[in-house]
Amino acid sequence: MEFKNRRLKISLVIGVAVLFWAAGANFYRGNVASLATGEETYKGLKLFTDVIELIEKNYVDEVDSEKLMQKAIQGMVRSLDPHSSLLPPEAFEELQVDTHGEFGGIGIVITMKDGILTVVSPIEGTPAYEAGILAGDRIVEVEGETTQDMELWEAVKKMRGKKGTKVVITIMREREPEPLEFILIRDTIPIESVKAKMIRPGYGYIWVTNFRDNTTDDIVAALNKFKRQSSPLKGVILDLRDNPGGLLNQAISVADLFLDKGEIVSIKGRLETQKKSYRAKSRGTITDFPMVVLINGGSASASEIVAGALQDNKRALILGTVSFGKGSVQTVEALRDGYGLKYTIALYYTPSGTSIQAQGIHPDIVVKQRWLDENENREDEIRLKEKDLKNHLEVVPEGMPRPQMQPDEDSESPKTPHMRIHESRHSPLDIETLNMDHQVMRALEVLMGYEIFKTAVNE
């Protein structure tokens, strides 16, 4: 009986392995080079099954074959780049939460950096944001459980939950000698992605916190509201700082809103079917005012597409610091038994042909966020970037070989000066807060200076 069970498990291993091999062969169908690697792939699969069988028979402890296979496949996929992974059924289900839907959580974008759960950015208006959790914070415990060997999807699932319930997370922060414990009450993560305010007569400010299915419509509504003011609209500040991205179609739509022609972004993959270019359409374009776009190290993915498109098409000046540099395109394929595979298929390129991947968008005017405490003025040193992630993809000139991959607080606690400044800088929109924001004020100076220069030239 034991022999039969073992043979059944080995057959399952072979079945799963062949599934991935067959999917890969189908994916690269028509590629002559893939035929040459078929024999090597088969040898690798045979080695894989030999190892599994030996471990099952001889390892000091009894092993769970299914978990062993999951970890083997996960290791294989993760060695590709930090955004590719095998998704167990629970993780695949979490990923399919619609962007227009609601879920209970604390409101942070997270990634794995050197095997450590790390905050990319908090989402504006959420419990994590209000508590003062910062980009670059390393989450070491969730509900008292270490995150050392925790999968990304497991951490997400533990932090999500019913609105009104409590979750405790412990973080390590740069220049904080002791761990900080945060007791957070889960809330419904808001779907609002756009906030807007007239900061001076004729000068509007639009803050896009992420790209959801209604972002373009909300920006149009904000612009229409500006135009109903007594003063004519002379300029707009589009704030994409700490915007982790979102829907590609919305990024293209937002860029198209301000461009009447030209390329917005191109996508280039290994296969011809993965190459595509998106261009602006003249219909519905709004071009009757100058723009300044704000970015920083927390601006990623979709926000980088918008900034790059407006910069390369000379539609807006980009002000701030270098963006995150997440310029890769992932797809998700459904597998058997509820599993999913998320993997990278292409890279984004700005209209000038520049890759965003691990490079980021470089501002036309570099302006760092000025902290009230000058000792805190180290934004670029502590902020996590795509290039800091293990196995991140490097972009090389066309025709050159790609480099080899690298191997493998209690809510009542006193807050640090850095946390207090962060809350001041990111508090809900009001004129006083915006007047204290150094980057916003510099952007306003640029727009007002342009208006003065234009008026002087025309006189």
Residues catalogued as catalytic: 301, 312, 326
The answer to whether 316 and 292 have CB atoms below 8 angstroms apart is: yes
The answer to whether 107 and 98 have CB atoms below 8 angstroms apart is: no
In the structure encoding, which two tokens stand for residue 231, read together?
């003063």
Q: How far apart are CA 317 and CA 364, in angstroms?
A: 6
Which residue, 207, 85, 100, is CA-closest to 156?
85
Element (DSSP H or E) covering residue 9: helix 2-27
The answer to whether 249 and 306 have CB atoms below 8 angstroms apart is: no
Which residue, 278, 271, 272, 268, is CA-closest to 327?
268
Count other C-beta atoms under 10 Å from residue 160's C-beta: 17
Question: Which residues does residue 87 pair with via DSSP β-bridges, in sequence order?
Answer: 340
Q: How far apart are CA 213 and CA 98, in angstroms?
A: 10
The answer to whether 339 and 87 have CB atoms below 8 angstroms apart is: yes
Angle between helices 65-78 and 2-27 (to 10 degrees): 20
In the structure encoding, which two tokens stand for residue 158, read together?
């533990």
